[in-house]
Chain A
Amino acid sequence: MSDLPEYNFAYLDEQTKRMIRRAILKAIAIPGYQTPFASREMPMPYGWGTGGVQVTAAILGTDDVLKVIDQGSDDTTNAVSIRKFFARTAGVRTTTRTPEATIIQTRHRIPETALGEHQVIVYQVPIPEPLRFLEPRETETRRMHALEDYGVMHVKLYEDIAQHGHIATAYAYPVKVDERYVMDPSPTPKFDNPKMNQCPALQLFGAGREKRIYAIPPYTRVVSLDFEDHPFERTRISGACSLCNSTKAFLDEVITDDQGGRAFMCSDTDYCEQARSRIGPLS
């Protein structure tokens, strides 16, 4: 990539990268803890995952192969523009194939294909603090994490049960990392929570607006919070993908015509394509 300038590879200057890299090392050493970092302005709005983009920019090298997904899809505007951003500023190869990627930046999903030790998954996080809706003051939530005082979180989940008969939280379902920190897994469906447990890949989380980086190291225990009489349930729309017939993948409901016709499809577009290429088109 000799035609690219040596400096500002992947947009960030070297001093900023050093600062983010130091935060990443601390985040790995303290699984689930939200490490502060001095988030930089990025050439995209906050809602576009500037935290994830900065983490990816700090770890990305010329040998990496980058995949970017948004709601499971490689083809949304958000995913395409982040992929283009790194292709332009770092000259890296990009892919839509999960197994080929060395870095996967994601918003709202974890790929269905199991991740391996050669991979890092970077989550875009809008609100990193799982206790924020229960306690708006940062000094207080810091204290609660320090004291491992997670009673309010259990009260909140229990109120769910009292109101709905089950834990209604379906996205950003809180987890406990290595039996210590309660962590927000970012707005992934709770269907994806079990994939975080003992995952062979390093998982990094970046929140740009809130200036936090946190991590789940590989092979780390990640437990979804629950109660003995109301255990965590992994839920998905029951049914099969109308394209690949999968009864295991997480499905999205899509409107197929203006008569209100509906169909279910895999939210992970790469998984669906690979499944279709194996079985051939459904009649």
Chain B
Amino acid sequence: MEGVDQLSNSFLKPVGDSHEVFRAAMNALAYPAQPRVLPSDLSPCGPMAPGSLALLLTLADHDTPVWLASSLATSESLRKFIAFHCGAPVVDDPTLAAFAFFSSPLELAPLARFAQGDPDYPDRSTTLIVQVEAFDDCAWRFSGPGLSSPRSFGVSPAPKGFADMWTANHAGFPLGVDLLFVCGKEIAALPRSLRISEI
């Protein structure tokens, strides 16, 4: 849409580009709650930002059902993009999703509607990819694996009651969902292993 040819809106160097995007996501989860560079030369597709599209192309394929928040689900061009470029089935049932995409963190609640994994296989959970307008460092304080000391981190717009949502998500550990936040050319992650406190 808007003049962008979505058929050619893809990685110029599929191997190298998806590698860089993966390493950004891996490092974001390994060193969580801190923004880092998410390389992407893609154009937006409807309401979906280039960073989210880059993660979609890097991580999703026909083995990974994708769920779209209502703000994204209505975009016909996005559905075509997913069908054409990665072949992932788009599902309505969030418990079936390997990945869930959001155009705003205000759509996140409730986290418990997504796959949480099961006790023998906690990895069978949904990874949530969320577009935000900005990262800020004063909303919440996180501690846990990947952090040498507690770290403040926040997103805007901030979802109401996020600290309670995240407390509940972490309380189910090893079950739970993991969040990848995308802001322009940056990514930051919250793995389920992190504990939260409000500042």
**Residue ranges of A at the interface with B (Cβ–Cβ < 8 Å):** 6-7, 9, 14-15, 17-19, 21-31, 33, 35-36, 58-62, 117, 139, 142-143, 145-147, 178, 180-181, 198, 200, 202, 216-220
Contact = CB atoms under 8 A, between A and B. Distances in A.
A1 B26 CA distance: 24
Nearest to B22: A21
Nearest to A117: B31
Contacts, number: 112
B170 to A, nearest CB: 11
Interface residues of B, number: 40
Contacts of B89: none
Contacts of B144: 178
Interface of B: 13-16, 18-20, 22-23, 25-27, 29-31, 58-61, 63-64, 98, 119-123, 125, 127, 144-148, 173-174, 178, 191-193
A147 B119 CA distance: 8
Residue among A19, A23, A28, A142 with the most chain B CB within 10 A? Answer: A28
B67 to A, nearest CB: 16
Contacts of A198: 148
A200 B193 contact: no
Top 6 nearest A-B pairs (CB, nearest first) are: A29-B191, A146-B119, A26-B123, A217-B145, A220-B145, A142-B120
Contacts of B15: 6-7, 9, 14
Nearest to B191: A29
A21 B145 CA distance: 19
B30 A218 contact: yes
Contact of B120 (A15, A24, A62, A146): A146
Residue among A19, A25, A200 with the most chain B CB within 10 A? Answer: A25
